[in-house]
C-alpha cells in the first residue's frame, strides 16, 4: 500500500511536528497469516493510502527469477560491487515524470465515467437498487483523485500520451477496494471491497 501525500508534507509524533521532504512515500504490508496483536486501520486512515495492492504467491517463472536475483545480489555483495552502483533514477527525473503524467490527455467523457464510478460507490442505487444495502461507505474525493492519478500513471507507463477506459478499469480495484466498505449484511453474505468494486465496474457504463 502506498500512502499518498495529497500536499501533506508534515508528520507529528507526540507534540513534535516534522517536515517531510518533497519526495517521500510510506509502504506497509499486512501478512494474512500473522495478525495476532494487530488491528484493522480506521476507515479514515485507509483512505489516505493511494492503493491497496494484493500480492499473491509468484508463478514458477517469477520464482525462478527471484532465485537468480538473490544469487546475483549475494554475489555482488561479496564482491563489494553493489555499494558502488550508481542510482538508477534521480529525484529530478522522478519529478519530471510526475509532471509528464499530469500532462496526459484525459477526455471529458472518461473523466465523467471516473467520477460516476466513485459516485456509484456512495450511491449504488443509481445503477442497481440491490447494491444499496451492501455498501456501508463509499469512496471519498480522495478516491476520485487517486483513481485519476493512477489511471494516468498506467497510461504513461504504457508509453501513451492519453488515458483510456481500460486504464481506469484495470486500476480501479487496487484504488477502491479499501475505500468501498461492505455493510454488515453484505459481509454476512461473503461480500468484500473487491466484490463491490467488481459489481460497480459491471454496472457503470463505459464511455
Q: What's the pLDDT tens digit per position in 163-185? A: 999 999 999 999 999 999 999 99
Name the most confidently modeled range: 28-37, 45-54, 108-117, 123-132. 108-117
Contact 120, 204 (CB under 8 A): yes
Choice between 80 and 159, residue whose per-residue pLDDT is larger: 159
Which grid cell is 158?
Answer: 504504457
Lowest pLDDT segment from 4-13, 145-154, 195-204: 4-13
Alpha-carbon span 92 to 36, nearest angstrom: 42
Instruction: Read off the pLDDT band of 49 (50, 70, 90).
Output: confident
Strands 181-182 and 135-137: antiparallel
pLDDT at 83: 55
Strands 16-19 and 49-51: unpaired
Residue 134 has pLDDT above 60, yes or no: yes
CA distances from 178 to 58, 122, 172 (A): 23, 14, 11
Contact 151, 166 (CB under 8 A): no
Residue 8 has pLDDT above 80, yes or no: no
Residue 43 has pLDDT above 60, yes or no: yes
pTM score: 0.75
Alpha-carbon span 46 to 52, nearest angstrom: 9
Lowest pLDDT segment from 54-68, 69-83, 176-190: 69-83
Amino acid at each position: 500500500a502506498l500512502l499518498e501525500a495529497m500536499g501533506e508534507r508534515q508528520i507529528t509524533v507526540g507534540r513534535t511536528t516534522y517536515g517531510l521532504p518533497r519526495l517521500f512515500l510510506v509502504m506497509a504490508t499486512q501478512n494474512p497469516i500473522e495478525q495476532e496483536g494487530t488491528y484493522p486501520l480506521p476507515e479514515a486512515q485507509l483512505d489516505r493510502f493511494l492503493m491497496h495492492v494484493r500480492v499473491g504467491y509468484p508463478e514458477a517463472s517469477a520464482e525462478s527469477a527471484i532465485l537468480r536475483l538473490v544469487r546475483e545480489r549475494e554475489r555482488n555483495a561479496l564482491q563489494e560491487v553493489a555499494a558502488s552502483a550508481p542510482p538508477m533514477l534521480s529525484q529530478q527525473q522522478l519529478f519530471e515524470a510526475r509532471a509528464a503524467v499530469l500532462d496526459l490527455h484525459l477526455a471529458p467523457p472518461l473523466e465523467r465515467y471516473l467520477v460516476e464510478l466513485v459516485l456509484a460507490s456512495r450511491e449504488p442505487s443509481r445503477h442497481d437498487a440491490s447494491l444499496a444495502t451492501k455498501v456501508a461507505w463509499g469512496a471519498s474525493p480522495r478516491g476520485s483523485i487517486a483513481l485519476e492519478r493512477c489511471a494516468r500513471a498506467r497510461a504513461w507507463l504504457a508509453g501513451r500520451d492519453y488515458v483510456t477506459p481500460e486504464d481506469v478499469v484495470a486500476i480501479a480495484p487496487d484504488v477502491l477496494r479499501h475505500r468501498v466498505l461492505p455493510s454488515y449484511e453484505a459481509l454476512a453474505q461473503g461480500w468484500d471491497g473487491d466484490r463491490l468494486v467488481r459489481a460497480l465496474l459491471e454496472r457503470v457504463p463505459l464511455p
